[in-house]
Structure formats: C-alpha cells, structure tokens
Structure 1
Amino acid sequence: MARKNFVCEWTPKSFILTVVIATVLFNECFIYIIQSFRWPDIGIADYRNYEEEQVILLVSDPQLQGYQMEPPFPIGSFSRWDIDRYLTRTFGLVYHHVKPDIILFLGDLIDEGSTAVDEEYHYAYQRFIDVFSAAEYTKKIYIPGDNDIGGEGRDFRTQKKVDRFVKNFENITGVSTFGFIDYIKNPEDMVWVVRPRKASPVHVLVSHFSVLVRDKMRVNPILQQVRPHLIFSGHWHKANVFLCNDCMKDDDSSWSVKQRNIEDMKGWMVTNLTEKPFSITEIMVPTCSYRMGVPNMGYGVAIIRKNGELSYTVLWTPERYKMLYGYLVAICVCLLVCLASRWLRKR
C-alpha cells in the first residue's frame, strides 16, 4: 500500500489566520496566566482566623471611564468596554489568588464621578459593580477620591456629590472595625468627631490623598487624634512607601519623611508596626487601570497580624498598551502579507 506524504503548505490566508489566532490568544488569555505565575505566594491557609491575621486587598484608582471626556461612538464605547474587561480579568485573577478577608477601595472609583449627570453616574456605577463582582460577598471599605466627589482644582466638592457617593457606596468618614483592626476613613473630615477604639491593637488610616507628604502643622492634629500604626493612600497612581520615625511626637519640631519607590517590587516587604511608638509607615498603592498613563499597574496586598507584623507586596498586572500595540503590529504584518501575495500573483 502506497504511503501518502502530507506536506503543510503555507498560504497567505493560512498564515494570516495563524497570526490573528496566536495574537488574540496571547493578548487575551496567555499573558494574564503568565503574569499570575509571577505573583508571590500568599502563604496563608484558607481557614485563617481574621481575628488573628488579616489579608487585605487594596484597589486604588480604577477610575472607570465615563461618557463626557471619551470620544464618541464607536471609539468611546470600545475604550470603555476594553478597560472594563481588563479590570474584570485582572481583579478576578488577583481576588482568587489572594482570597482576601477585606478589600479597601482607595478612591477615584469612577473617572467622572464628580461631573457626571445622574444617568451617567448610574450606568458607571452598574459597570463598577459588574467589574468587581468576583468579590460580591467579601467585606469592603470604599474611600472617595477627588474624581468621585471633587476637591481638586476647580472641581469643587459639594454636598450633592458627597450625598450621591454615600447613597451608592457608603459614608465617606467613620471608623470601620473588622477583627482586631480599626479602619479610620478620611480622618480630615471627622477628626474631632469619631475616634478609633483604644482597645484595638492596630489602627489603619485609609485616605485617598497621601498624608505624610503634607505639612506637619496640617496633619499632626489628625495623627495625634487617630494614632495610626499604618496609612494606606493612592492618588499618585504609583507605588511608594513613606516612613517617618518621629511623626507621632507631639512637638513643633520638623519631621523627616523618607520616600522609597517600590515600582520594581517582586517579593514581600516585612516590618512591625508597633515596635517603634513614634514611627508611622504610609503605603501608597498604584493604580490598577492602564488608562492612567503610568507604565506599571497592580493591586496591593497586605497581611497584618495581631502582634503588629506587616507583610506587603504588589501584584503587578499586564501592560495593556503593549498588548494593543501587538494587535497593531499583527495587522501591519497581515497587510504586508496580503500586498506581497497580490504582487507575486501579478508577477
């Protein structure tokens, strides 16, 4: 019986089809899986007791794109769809990797939350809920940013904006107690009204804007009132750590705040929050959105134990713009193949 030889012949159509399928699979599937393999292991059992140690997932500046500042249909619709899909995928992977006890949203939740009309705000809020639906049954704390209620430049904060945020999310101030930690929200708005429990071993101040970079005369009354062991902030869209060894001293001397860029963080940063009574650590969490114009996006993860031990890392997510450029390159290659094929046929 004669043996048939099967030879795979590449035609322009088969080559283009292969390039398209490979590009889509890599950009929409494989790149997310590859990136998740680079994340450090959480190292805590699923049956942990949040009364003794807590795993905190930090989401900063998602800024879901709105309807006023985006291009008209179809570009605006596609850009909103793509950023929503990117955040849904990255958050879902991070959430299942971390299995957090609590999630802190550090402000600027909706890009046009301060300027949107009620109908636009309603649609954006529903998209926000859908994007982070993987954590539907996990405890959350929401902090408003300037994009949510105003407060930066000429975008003034008004009571109407605050009321709309409160109606859809939660109060912008107060103390939320979870396990052994008191989470103090936006202390500048309520510093003389609400205090954390003295019995709580750990006080965590949660603010959209950075605290330690401000003038001491402005923030020292807040720090003396709240007595935080740790501060989480966002707004800059970058990953930083600020350390002040004498910020809790009640005097008029100037303080020295050391800033450390952690954009290249791959492992865990470990410290103890209660060993030095006059020291404060502030962790600035990077944005999780690729639309913010920064090269590195990610989610912060903090593990706090009752004895004051803190472990912190950033789970970096894929650079979406590089993936979109990859589509552009693939389109150019396919066009060149088509043109070359037509030219050869004419020859």
Structure 2
Amino acid sequence: MDGAHVTRRRPLRAPNGPMPLRGDKPHRLSPSEGASLKGRQCCRLLTFHRTAVLVGVLVVLYNEVLVYYINKTSWKLPPGFSQSRNDDKIVRLIIAGDPQIQGYQYEVGGLVGWVTRLDSDRYLSKTFHLLLDLVQPDAVIFLGDLEDEGSVASDVEYSDYVRRFYQIFHVPAETKLILLAGDNDIGGEGADMITQEKMQRFEKNFAPLNEVVRVKNVDFIKVNLVTPFQKSPAVPQTRLMSQLSAPVRVLLSHVTLNSAVLQTAATILGSFRPQYAFSAHFHKYERAAYNITRIMRYAGLPYPADLARQQLVTQEFQVPTCSYRMGTAEIGYMVVTIDHAGEMSSSVVWLPRRYVSLCVYVVYLIVVVLAWIVQRACLSSRRHHTTQY
C-alpha cells in the first residue's frame, strides 16, 4: 500500500544467546565460557597424568619386586633337598660363575655409568640373597671373574670393587665362601698378561689361588688354570695333595678342563682324581665326562696300574653366569648337594631376564610420550574448533 508503514520483524533470539546467522562474525567465548573450557581440558590432562603415574608405579613394582618372586616360584632344588637341610653328612652348595661386577674404565661415564653399575649390583644382590635365604648352603663358590676390570684396575678402583663384591654377596659367618680367580681378575686373556703383582693383589683381598677347602666330607680343590689363551702358573700339586683327607674330591677351576692344555689337565686329573669338577668362563651351562686313564694316555703321561683298573671318570659341570651384563639370555646359579657316599644331585636355578624388564621401561616411556603428544594435539584442536562458534 502506498504510504503504509511496513514493520520488519526482528530475528528471533535463542533462549540462551544470539542465534548465529549467515554472515555473522564468529562468536568469541566469554570469560566464563573460556574458564569452563580450560577447566575441562585441565581435568582431561590431570586424568591422563594420574593414569600415566599409576601405570608407571605398577611397571616399577613388577620389574623391581614382583618379577623376582614370580621367578622364584619356578626354582627347583635338587631331589630330597628339603629333607637333607639339617643333615650334617650332606653338603649344600650354591655355585656361581662370572659375576663380573662392573667397573669404571669400560663402562659409560657420568650419571649413565653410575645408573648402570647400580642396576647391575642390585640385580646381583637381589637374586643372590633370594637364593641364599632359600638354600641356606654350607658353602658358596664363585668360579672366578669376580670383577669385570679387576686385572686392569688401579689400586683405588680395585679397593672399591672389593668393597662392592662383599657388599653384594654378603654371606653369614657360618657359610664358607670359596673364591677363585679368573682372567678378568688377574689377567690371562689376549694382551692382558698374568703378572705376579695381579695374583698377589687378588690373594690379599680375596683368597689363595690354589688351595684345598674342606666342607664336611668334601675336599674342594682350587686350581689356577685361569685361561686357555696363556700359560698359567704351575699348580702346586704336591702341597695340595698333602692337604687332601676327605672321601669326596671336587675340582674347582675358572676354565673347563677341555680348554686347558691337555698335559696340564691330564696331570691334574691323574694327581687329584676328583669325582666332580666345576668351571665357568664361557657363561653357559654344559656337562662333560672325562675318563682319567684315557686322558692321561692321550697326553702321553704314565699312570699307575690301579688307576687303569678303576677306570675313574670325572664329571665336569660348566656353570652359567649370574650376571645379566654378560650378553647371554640364560642367567643362573647351580644348587648342589653331595652326600656322604659322594652321590651328587644338582639343578640350575634360572634368573629373570633383566633386559626384558629394561625394555618394558623403554616401551612404557615411548607410549607415555606419544599419548601425551596426541592428548595435547586433540585438546588444541578442540579449543580452536570451539572458538569458531
């Protein structure tokens, strides 16, 4: 109509605020709305942090405590061990190979080296004392390579190794501790030569290189064969023979008999005639048997008629390493019982694989970092999207 007044209807408003129309400018959040959004984001981050910490605590609890006790349930002691624990006629033994506590020259320096040494020491101590409490042995035998850098260490470093060794492998006063020297302790492998000074330093801080140790009805004969790569100092057979008195004889050496010089091995077997022998060095568990007469014949050595008639056989057991730092997956100790008649029972106690636990830590950290990155990216994207409306 001409001259008529036309009233335009205003757009309806939404009950809770303005209704966005096409062409309107993006809506900016009010201070109260921004605070609410930030609060929700903080809650999500806080929930993520709490979850990450909780999972981290569980991972540490499993790796540092539970894995050892779970592993302990798989340990099998020699038959009849529990019944023979209080029998004075039975010798109970823990035999360890190559603990090689880590040093300072070959290990990574600084904080990383301190952490790796601490972790290795703790693993050795934890596993050893769990087994020690279970077995309650008459003697504990270490078959050499007590230190990783003992042969090349300075006197100050060597003193620290000695302190750490006795701290890690502390045994009760009533338990005999039998210690042998290995090539990492006194030299003998490659260009690392055996010297009189190294041997004297070991004997001063640990034990004689060659001796007879009596435990109940068993004579343990320590011989310093050390290594197949260099000529070892002569074994004082006459002096050791004069100390033998027990009905059962066990030969202890760092290296295996078949790794030693044939004539040396044959002479030792023919002189001592041990029923059993234990060695280490190669970080793995194996068994072998040696006919003493046959070995002496191969070596071109004379032997008495009674030895030929008896056809004595020495059973040798190669003990695995007890340290996870030796680069082998099979880590463990040997548990042995020897009765009054010389019958031996043995089992290998396998230990948890520490590198698996360390890998779990690495995987956990990677997952946490990736999850944190994704969480922050999602929150940032959501905040940017919300501010457009």
Q: Does the alignment pair 1:19 with 2:55?
A: yes
Task: Work out whether residues 94 and 335 of structure 2, in 8 Å CA contact, stay in contact via their aligned partners in 1.
Answer: yes
Aligned pairs for 1:149-188 within 5 A: 149-186=186-223
Distance in 1 between residues matched to 2:179 and 2:213, nearest whole Å: 11
Q: How much has 1:11 moved relative to structure 2?
A: 2.2
Mapped partners of 1:60, 1:334: distance in 2: 39
| Conserved? CA contact 2:102–2:149, under 8 Å | yes
Rounded to whole Å, the distance in 2 between the matches of 1:48 and 1:126 is 32
The CA deviation string for residues 99-122 of structure 1, in whole angstroms up to 9 with x for no partner, is 111111100001111110000001
Q: What is the aligned counterpart of 1:49 among 87, 90, 98?
A: 87
> What is the TM-score with the length of structure 2 in the denominator?
0.77
Larger proportion of helix: 2
Which of 196, 220, 237 is equivalent to 2:266?
220
Q: Which residue of 1 aligns with 2:166?
A: 129
Find 2:292's aligned residue among 232, 241, 247. Answer: 247
Code of the residue aligned with 1:225 in structure 2: it is: S
Q: Does residue 77 of the first structure (1) align with residue 114 of the second (2)?
A: yes
After superposition, where does 1:1-150 map in structure 2 within 5 Å?
A: 11-41=47-77, 43-45=81-83, 48-50=86-88, 52-135=89-172, 137-150=174-187
1 CA distance for matches of 2:164 and 2:295?
Answer: 45
Confirm whether residue 200 of structure 1 aligns to residue 246 of structure 2.
Answer: yes
Measured after TM superposition, the shift of residue 192 of structure 1 is 3.7
Q: Which has the higher strand share?
A: 1
Q: Is the 8 A contact 2:77 2:335 kept in 1?
A: no
**Secondary structure of residue in 2 paired with 1:39:** coil
TM-score, structure 1 normalization: 0.86
Give the letter aligned to residue 299 of structure 1: Y
Q: Specify whether residues 139 and 198 from structure 1 end up closer, same or farther in structure 2 by C-alpha distance, changes over 3 A only.
A: closer
Aligned equivalents of 2:296 and 2:257: distance in 1? Answer: 18
Q: Given the superposition, is the C-alpha separation of residues 250 and 20 from structure 1 closer, same or farther in structure 2, using an over 3 Å criterion?
A: closer
Q: 1:333 to 1:106 in 2, by over 3 A?
A: same
Does residue 323 of structure 1 match 2:361?
Answer: no
The CA distance in 1 between the partners of 2:335 and 2:85, in whole Å, is 18
Check whether the contact 2:77–2:346 (CA below 8 A) recurs between aligned residues. no
Confirm or deny: 8 A CA contact 2:138 2:215 kept in the other structure.
Answer: no
Matches within 5 A, 1:232-311: 232-244=278-290, 246-249=291-294, 252-253=297-298, 277-311=311-345
- Kindly provide the CA deviation profile for residues 303-336 of structure 1, in whole angstroms up to 9, marking residues without a partner as x: 1111121111111111011100000000011111
| Distance in 2, Cα, partners of 1:309 & 1:130 | 34
Is 1:340 matched up with 2:386? no
What per-residue deviation string (whole Å, max 9, x for no partner) do you get for residues 190-223 of structure 1?
2243216564211000000101344543311111
Asked if structure 1 preserves the Cα contact closer than 8 Å seen for 2:186 and 2:202, the reply is yes
What secondary structure, in the 3-state scheme, does the structure 2 residue paired with 1:252 have? helix
Listed one character per residue, the Cα deviations across residues 254-276 of structure 1 (whole Å, up to 9, x for unaligned) are 89xxxxxxxxxxxxxxxxxxxx7
Residues 156, 331 of structure 1: CA spacing in aligned structure 2 closer, same or farther, 3 A cutoff? same
Paired with 2:127 and 2:318, the residues of 1 have a C-alpha distance of 19
Please give the secondary structure, in 1, of the residue aligned with 2:102. coil
Between the aligned partners of 1:216 and 1:138, the Cα distance in structure 2 is: 35
Give 1:17 shift.
1.1
Q: Tell me: CA distance 1:47–1:70, structure 2 relative to 1, closer, same or farther (3 Å).
A: closer
C-alpha displacement at 1:41, in angstroms?
3.9
Distance 2:136 2:244 in 1: 29
Q: Distance in 2 between matches of 1:128 and 1:318?
A: 21
**Percent identical across equivalent pairs?**
36
Partners of 1:308 and 1:47 in 2: CA distance: 17
Check whether the contact 1:106–1:142 (CA below 8 A) recurs between aligned residues: yes
Aligned with 1:78: secondary structure?
helix
Please tell me whether the aligned partners of residues 186 and 199 of structure 2 are also in contact (alpha carbons under 8 angstroms).
yes
Distance 1:180 1:239 in 2: 26
What amino acid is the match of 1:282?
A: E
User: Cα 1:160–1:38, aligned 2, differ >3 Å: closer, same or farther?
Assistant: same
Which one has a bigger Cα radius of gyration?
Answer: 2
Shift in alpha-carbon separation, 1:316–1:136, aligned structure 2, 3 A: farther
Uncovered stretches (5+) of structure 1, i.e. residues with no partner:
1-8, 256-275
CA offset at residue 179 of structure 1? 1.1
Measured after TM superposition, the shift of residue 40 of structure 1 is: 1.0
Does residue 231 (structure 1) correspond to residue 267 (structure 2)? The answer is no
Say what the alpha-carbon RMSD is for the aligned residues. 2.0
